């Protein structure tokens, strides 16, 4: 009986050991690095954020993820072929490269360098986030073009106010901006029909929780920042009423925050980050 038990245990060991050895040999034999990430591009989202995308790498076994470098410093990693770099300084040029890695620790060469310059903390001309108004009757189009594939959604009258949400696009000899107008339809308008409207951003720090009934300089700051994002379309009053609450709810909903209509730490932090203050 003892001999049988010893042999049975020995058989189990002999079955397990080869499996472990084979697995170890397979892992140790993977010395091939993934291919270099290609087609890296950078998009400036705000004065403090740049988004990066690139074409996925390939590997003989599989790509585990990507390392992202800002200049010579590795600032993060991601399992997908996209990365958001936040907490940046306004009006600053940054350079990026990306390298792919696999589960065995093999790392590809770094990608081609791409650069991006963050926006100014205060919008001073045509750019996403800027306030604009029409200087003449303006056809608002479905696409940035005067061609047959671009339909006229509506005609905004002279003096119509709105906020730029994307652009520019050059087409048909014109520069086009996608505008969220305060009233009427939204869509693409030619820059030649628009003028920049300066929005003064209040300088009071935004540090306290705010809700309906709050008033003062911080509410003025809140309203100015919401106006910069095209969400608050009234005069800055410094009073947190129903209109301000509705604008806060729109901001929270658009950014996957709980739509409570008041400003707490999460809403305040994201609002300051997106506006670069």
Instruction: List strand residue ranges (DSSP E) for the chain, in order.
Output: 38-46, 49-55, 63-70, 73-78, 82-85, 93-102, 114-117, 131-134, 138-141, 152-156, 161-171, 174-181, 187-190, 194-197
Pairing label, strands 93-102, 138-141 = unpaired
| Closest by CA position to 57, among listed 76, 41, 35 | 35
State the pLDDT at residue 17: 44
Least confident residue range of 125-139, 175-189, 190-204, 260-274: 190-204
Distance CA 89, CA 277 (A): 10
pLDDT at 152 over 90: yes
Q: What's the N-to-C CA distance of the chain in angstroms? A: 80
Distance CA 266, CA 257 (A): 8
pTM of the model: 0.41
Q: For the segment 153-181, what is each residue's pLDDT rounded down to a tens digit? A: 999 999 998 888 888 888 888 889 999 89
CB 162 within 8 A of CB 135: no
Average pLDDT over the chain, rounded to whole? 83
pLDDT at 121 over 70: no
| Mean pLDDT for the stretch of residues 99-109 | 96
Domains of the chain, with CATH numbers? 38-117 (2.60.40.10), 131-197 (2.30.30.40), 217-275 (1.10.101.10)
Burial 215-236 (b: 16+ CB within 10 A, else e): eeebbbbbbbbbbbbbbbbeeb
| Closest by CA position to 227, among listed 129, 111, 86, 126 | 129
Q: For the segment 245-257, what is each residue's pLDDT rounded down to a tens digit? A: 999 999 999 889 9
| Closest by CA position to 150, among listed 194, 187, 175 | 187
């Amino acid at each position: 009986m003892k001999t049988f038990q010893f042999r049975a245990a020995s058989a189990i060991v002999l079955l397990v050991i080869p499996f472990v050895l084979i697995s170890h040999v397979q892992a140790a034999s993977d010395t091939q690095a993934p291919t270099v990430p290609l087609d890296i591009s950078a998009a400036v989202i705000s004065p403090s954020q740049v988004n990066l995308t690139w074409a996925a790498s390939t590997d003989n076994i599989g790509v585990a993820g990507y390392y992202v470098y800002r200049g010579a410093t590795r600032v993060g990693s991601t399992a997908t072929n996209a990365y958001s770099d936040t907490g940046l300084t306004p009006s600053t040029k940054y350079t990026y490269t990306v390298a792919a890695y696999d589960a065995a620790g093999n790392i590809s060469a770094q990608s081609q360098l791409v650069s991006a310059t963050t926006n100014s903390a205060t919008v001073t001309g045509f750019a996403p986030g800027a306030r604009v108004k029409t200087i003449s009757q303006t056809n608002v189009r479905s696409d940035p073009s005067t061609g047959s594939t671009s339909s006229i959604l509506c005609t905004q009258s002279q003096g119509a106010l709105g906020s730029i949400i994307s652009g520019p696009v050059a087409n048909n000899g014109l520069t086009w901006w996608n505008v969220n107008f305060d009233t009427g339809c939204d869509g693409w308008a030619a820059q030649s029909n628009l003028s920049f409207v300066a929005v003064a951003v209040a300088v009071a720090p935004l540090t306290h929780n705010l809700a309906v009934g709050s008033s003062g300089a911080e509410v003025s700051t809140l309203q100015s920042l919401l106006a910069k994002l095209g969400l608050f379309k009234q005069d800055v009053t410094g009073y947190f009423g129903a209109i301000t609450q509705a604008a806060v709810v729109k901001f929270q909903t658009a950014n996957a925050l709980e739509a409570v209509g008041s400003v707490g730490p999460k809403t305040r932090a994201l609002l300051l980050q997106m506006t670069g203050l």
